[in-house]
Amino acid sequence: MAKKLKVIPLGGLWEIGKNMTVLEYGDDMIIIDVGVAFPDDDMFGVDLVIPDFTYVVENRAKLRGIFLTHGHEDHIGAVPYLLDVVTAPIYTTRFTAALVEHKLQEKKPANKVDLRVVSPGDTVAAGCFSVEFIAVNHSIADACALAIETPVGLVFHTGDFKIDTTPVSGEMIDLARIGQLGKEGVVLLMSDSTNVERPGMTMSESMVGERFRQIFKDCGKRIIVASFASNVHRIQQIVNAAVEANRKIAFSGRSMENVLEIGLELGYIDIPRDALIDITEVKNYPKKRVCILTTGSQGEEMSALYRMAFDTHKQVKISDGDLVILSANPIPGNEKPVYRLVNELFRKGAEVVYERLAEVHVSGHACREELKMILSLTKPKNFMPVHGEYRHLAANAELGISTGIPRQNVFVSEIGRILEINRDGTAKLGGTVAAGKLLVDGLGVGDVGSVVLRDRKHLSQDGIIVVSLALDSETAALLAGPEIVTRGFIYAKDAEQLIVEMKDVTVEALEDCRRSGVNDWMTVKSEIRSALAAFISRKTKRSPMILPMLLDVEL
């Protein structure tokens, strides 16, 4: 039977984040990106969401390499967890490698790390695959697309990208190389879909720098800027505006401080020595001579800006002498915490500038015209949109069809679904592999599932009642109790009569069991739970979790 190339997304489709794709041919397999997603509101207590690695683990003997397109969390965040269960060399560019190294220091994986740094233009052999790194523009340094030579033809994966004709770094996306690959023939294009609903072209990052210079000029207030820590080009432009306005620059927030250290070490950030001060020193300077770069653009509760706004930051408190700039758009799902933070900043008297009021942020993702340009340059035989919710993938698919790709060659897939490509370039969606999401809660990976989440949701909505009884181990006679403790259900001191009635219902249910000859304690617990649930529902219209605890006492 002729071999086929298998393209298997394990994340990043029908969702934002958790990007991960497997390419497999015969006895060789490579992985593109290993990202995380952040928990939804109904994932109580969960820290991170990572891809299900089951298929990779089952085929780990085939794994020849892991290729990372850039250093955002939704593309590298799950690397330590993957290296707990498999081992393979990791190939990526310099800045991304530095971020991965820092991540691996925080969470040391079980397996040995083999991290290999490449540059745009380099090509890496990995089994039957040959992977070329191609420079693209994005909201982070050293982002790359991947041109993957396979036995069935060239697969082009854009990674996250935009076309920036005036990039801060000076290095524009390599459209010439992409066009050359298109002339040679692309059997499959996988393209970022995040901004497909936006018309036109994405604004250049350098436009933000100009806006910052305008804001900083003649501003008499302390300026506090919240941005994504990984966007070193944005940080550099803020630094340039601050230096030009003769301000001292301080950093606050762990991720911002970490990236500052990496950026300075690798030369991605340049700050005059006399301009950089520690956050503890800001009180020593007039407000109009200070600029603070901080985390918190997404309203995260533990972030530095959040703590400044709610008076829990040790060095900085927001007041009417501050200008706060949120240099980022809310990630989908983060709108409520972001605007809660904005409201608090206004309440403290600060002047607040954010995306709705001024052009202090531009996206790192391609809009429709840029996506169409990549489609036109690559002229792919087959097209599979990636990176986005279903509506993004569907819109990108229609964009591909509008550029001339036959509808039957455009595939809106889903995680776990196999796209099979033959040697003649024909493709079709095939079967599925194990795929989904693993929830990370503290040190636990995958031990929080739907049952635990259901219980946590129940507890958050209705609270819990614990009923304790001591029973004779032989006769099941009540020796002590029942004692009732409630949490999150009702304030006990305000419901003493209800507690008394709950005790009576418990004793009555216990007596019913004795009269019926029921001596199986699991059944006794069930009867007590059912009787209490019915009583509480009738009295309060609530449904708390009820936990009967029976203590077996030998006399």
Closest listed residue to residue 171, CA positions, set 133, 142, 146: 142
Query: Catalytic one among 72, 365, 387, 392?
Result: 365
Answer positive or negative: Cα dihedral of 547, 551, 552, 555: negative
Contact assessment for residue 56 and residue 50, using Cβ atoms and an 8 Å cutoff = no
Q: How many Cβ atoms sit within 10 Å of the Cβ of residue 204? A: 18
User: How far apart, in whole angstroms, are the C-alpha atoms of residue 273 and residue 64?
Assistant: 44
Q: Which residue has the tokens 């052999």?
A: 125
Query: Catalytic one among 160, 164, 174, 192?
Result: 192
Residues paired with residue 551 on neighbouring β-strands, in sequence order = 470
Q: How many Cβ atoms sit within 10 Å of the Cβ of residue 449? A: 10
Cα separation of the two ends of the chain = 74
Task: Indicate if 462 belongs to the active site.
Answer: no
Q: How many CA atoms lie within 13 A of 425 on its CB side?
A: 14
Contacts 24+ apart (CB under 8 A), 117-121: 117/92, 117/93, 118/91, 118/92, 118/93, 119/93, 119/94, 120/93, 120/144, 120/171, 120/174
Task: Indicate if 392 belongs to the active site.
Answer: no
Closest listed residue to residue 304, CA positions, set 258, 262, 269, 246: 258
Spell out the residues 6+ positions from residue 229 whose beta carbon is closer than 8 angstroms to its own.
235, 253, 255, 256, 258, 259, 295
User: Residues with catalytic annotation?
Assistant: 192, 365
